[in-house]
Amino acid sequence: MSLPPVFPPPEAAAGPPPSGRGTARWWVLGGGLVVVSAVCGVVVFCAGLWTYANHDRPELIDDPPVSEVAESACATMRATVAAKAAPPGAPVDARVRSIREQNAAVTAMVAQVRGLDADLLADDRPTTLWLADWETLVQTRERYAADLAAGGRPHFVAPTADGEPLTDRMNSVGLLCEVPPQLLDLP
């Protein structure tokens, strides 16, 4: 009795079984690439977050050396403006003197902030515009005081910028420094 011929199984005919070392190498390389990509992604994300968190917001006075001086000077100005307000029914010369003393308080505040380093002010973008707005308000009030002193019956209108009251822009720079109502409520 003869036995049927024995043929090797088809997988044996293809060569020796794979050792698994080549497959493991691809897994290590793939895993390494995933880890490197994840680390790079985290680094880029953190760098972007840091840059965003520390950038100058052009609509805010947010550089501490500038904002601290501005808020301190503003607090002094606001107290002086309130103290120098003319009482209701004051004579014209007392009202004119009050307006000019209040203007002097605003001018002192502006000078104190302008006394900072020019580059520091330029780097915190809205600062120079904010200071110019205060100067415009003082000029408008001075014209009113001059007309009042000359015997006129002037009407005070707060200056505007782009059709909006200038005071809106002055009050929206992120400082604790709103325009005192005594600067706008002129009799």
The string of pLDDT tens digits covering residues 109-127 is 999 999 999 999 999 989 9
pLDDT tens per residue, range 42-83 = 766 655 555 545 555 677 999 999 999 999 999 999 999 999
Residue 8: burial class (beta carbons within 10 Å; 0-12, 13-18, 19+): exposed
The pLDDT of residue 87 is above 60 = yes
Reported as a single tens digit per residue, the pLDDT across 1-29 is 666 666 655 555 555 555 556 676 777 77
Does the pTM surpass 0.85? The reply is no
Beta carbons of 109 and 76 less than 8 angstroms apart: yes
Among 44, 151, 45, CA closest to 93 = 151
DSSP code of residue 181: G
- Give start and end residues of each alpha helix (H) in 84-179: 92-114, 118-123, 126-149, 166-170
Tell me, what's the pLDDT at 26? 72
